[in-house]
Amino acid sequence: MTTITDFTARPLERALPGVALRGDSLAWNGREIPIRGGIVRFRDDDGYNAPFAQQWKAFAREQIDAANGTGITRARVLRETGWALDRMAGELVLEAGCGAGRFTQILAETGADLVSFDYSSAVEVAAENNARFENVAFAQADLLDMPFPDGVFDRVFCHGVIQHTPDPAAAFRALDRVLKPGGLLSFDVYLKDGSVQVWKAKYLWRPITTRMDRDRLLSFLQWFIPKWLPIDTAIKRIPVLGRYLGSVVPCMNYYYLPLSKAQKVRWAIMDTFDALAPAYDNPVTLEEVRQWFQSAGYERFEVREGGNGVVGNGVKPR
């Protein structure tokens, strides 16, 4: 039995004590886990996250800072985690739900040993986008059934993910389980607050769109969004009234971001599909997130509104 040497050894050796390589599989905890494409496959299909596999394969590099020429993703990580990225070298970090790997790049650049996984085969896109990093191990796994031991990671990062699981509260507990005492947890989740917001237009249409053939839905958006986006932008720029008028037709519009016209169209198609296609979309209140932390014994935590809804940051009690 040989210690892992063929792909990003260190993060997996630290996250799965006793793991070893056997040809094209891992031997760990009495299990044989297959490796394909340099990705450890704790699960083997797209399941309920098939829409995200489709999305990230169609829009593989739109949100990668190095590809779009912006610092949008890096700024979001800094703003929402509050982490000092220059102090993370050598830590063991988990990225739960990597999608196409937009955050993977930022976390990998810190010099931390990073384990990055996704529920679906979208992880293949993340691995390709971040192939240059030798400190990242990629896996396909279920957030609600993670293979990692309790208390193994120094930091856990999970943004843009847990609202798309069947049970966001259970997802929080799963993230907390694998975090070391004294470790840092950062996540976000969609906000449920009863207010009228333009991004909530999706809830009028999801009963229909989640039942549609996904290829047809994406094709329709690719036809519709370029035509509608200029009108939608004009509507959403109307003071006060624009919020209400813009809450009917779903269009995730990023007219305010430093992107080119073509990039804004691509992002609008991508994120409108993101809003309408997923099987699960479970927003929660600020108070619910506070209760998650309190039930887990956290004393040092913050819960606030953020760009994606609710941001939760905490230090796991020792």
pLDDT, tens only, 250-272: 999 999 999 999 999 999 999 99
Contacts 24+ apart (CB under 8 A), 295-299: 296/172, 296/173, 296/176
- Are 109 and 257 contained in the same domain? no
Per-residue pLDDT tens for 107-122? 999 999 999 999 999 9
- Are 70 and 163 contained in the same domain? yes
* Residues shown for the chain: 318
Q: Would you say residue 8 lies in a domain? A: no
- Across the chain, mean pLDDT equals 95
pLDDT the model gives residue 9: 62
- Picking from 102, 297, 78, the residue whose alpha carbon sits closest to that of residue 181 is 297
Q: Would you say residue 6 lies in a domain? A: no
pLDDT the model gives residue 207: 98
- Are 185 and 305 contained in the same domain? yes
Domain of 97, in residue numbers:
39-48+64-191+284-315
- Are 70 and 145 contained in the same domain? yes
pLDDT at 72 over 50: yes
- Are 269 and 302 contained in the same domain? no
pLDDT the model gives residue 228: 98
**Cα–Cα dist 176/305, whole Å:** 21
Q: Where are the alpha helices (DSSP H) in the chain?
A: 9-15, 50-58, 65-68, 72-81, 102-108, 123-129, 168-177, 202-209, 214-236, 241-245, 261-276, 286-295
Angle between helices 261-276 and 50-58 (to 10 degrees): 170
Pick from 5-9, 24-28, 262-266: least confident: 5-9
Assign residue 126 the CATH number of its domain: 3.40.50.150
- The edge-to-edge listing of strands for the beta sheet with 20-22 is 20-22, 25-28, 31-36, 39-41, 136-140, 113-118, 92-96, 153-158, 179-189, 309-315, 300-306
